Amino acid sequence: MGKRVRAIIMILALLVFLGSGVAVFAIRRTYKASRQSYADAASAYTQKTDIDDNITTSNMDEAEDNSAASDIDDAGPPIIVDFERLQGDNPQVVAWLYCPGTTIDYPVIQGVDNEFYLHHSYTGAEDQSGAIFVDSQCSPGFTDSNSIIYGHSMKDGSMFGGLEAWEDQDYFDSHPVIWLLTPQENYKVRLFSGYTTSAYSNTYTIFRGPGSDFSAYLAECLAQSDFITEDRPSDDSRCVVLSTCAYDFDEARYVLHGRLEQVGTQ
């Protein structure tokens, strides 16, 4: 009887092991398909410039040349986006987010709620990686004092899976600027704060315009930052919050704050 029980236990353990392996394979295949879909989107709708090539080279050589951050800071738009085609395929696309030398290279959506694009790609197709999307309650065109942009923290580092890298001062020094390109205007997102917070914190307050409450909010964001920067938003700055899941505690989030600096039109 004991031998039969042991044999059954071994068979069950083997089945669990095989089932886990199949599940891991399926997840990896899903991740790969999603990464390829967004890589195809970048190839189809964007074109890199010579500026982007120079920035990427500077990032590769940053260990020997500390001017990499300066190169990024002084550069113009590193990519050109074909918004006419992109919005023809999905009118809810409102921007493209790009950071040289990182995985951030995605279309940005604003839907009618904050649920659909958690599990659908920028095309509207089902995708567990979701999409990068603006809070549906934010005003169109990034006209609020702060607009919130969400993305999943994927285990393979895709989507916003790399945001927590900005915890490190050296990483911030090499990547102080993210690009937000829209059909109307191009912006440098000059990062000024990054930290872990709760999904229910004041970080997610949407301010429509400047005022004393927004000034206090900015001061609180700066006080919590993991990195130090001389760049400071003014009380009338327009800012964005990039938000993703973190695993420090229940409902933890990692966020990056940046002020928008217009640098031209499309």
Residues that are catalytic: 152, 245
C-alpha closest to that of 107 among 79, 68, 128: 79
Of residues 152, 112, 116, the one with CA closest to residue 247: 152
Secondary structure (DSSP) of 102-135: SS-EEEEE--SSSSGGGSB-TTS-B-TT--EEE-
Reference 180, options 239, 237, 235, 135; nearest CA is: 239
Closest CA to 65 of 166, 174, 147, 159: 174
- 160-172: b (≥16 Cβ within 10 Å) or e: bbbbbbbbeeebb
| Count of other CB atoms within 10 angstroms of residue 106 | 23
SS3 of 7, please? helix
Beta carbons within 10 angstroms of residue 116's beta carbon: 16
